[in-house]
Amino acid sequence: MTDELDVPAEPSASDNEVAERLGNERPVPGAGFRGALARRLAASDPGYGPRPQRLRLMVAAYVGAGSLLIALGALNATGAL
């Protein structure tokens, strides 16, 4: 493995041509397929609804409790507890 890479600061003209060709020739599904997919996804939506109130508070409580348990485990493993 080498320490230094020979990466040019700017892409070459051939790199730009390849990037443009890939952008222009990118396959895109047809409108009929996209519409059918959107209808299918909308029909299969479980409809979980809005997020619960105080979601951030609940997440913070879970993270705090988990951190406390990890800290207690670490103290127990090192013999400090």
Could you tell me the CA-to-CA distances from 69 to 50, 58, 66, 79, 81 in Å, in that order?
31, 17, 5, 15, 13
Give CA separation, 14 vs 17, 18, 21, 63, 70, in Å.
Answer: 5, 6, 10, 50, 53
| Greatest extent of the chain over all pairs of C-alpha atoms, in Å | 66
> Which tens digits make up the pLDDT trace of 12-61?
888 889 989 988 888 889 999 999 999 999 999 888 888 889 999 999 99
Given a cut of 70, whether residue 1 has pLDDT beyond it is no
Query: Is the predicted pLDDT of residue 8 greater than 80, yes or no?
Result: no
The phi and psi torsions of 54 (rounded to 5 degrees) equal 60, 35
pLDDT, residue 38, reads: 93
The per-residue pLDDT for 6 is 77
pLDDT value, residue 5: 72
pTM > 0.75: no
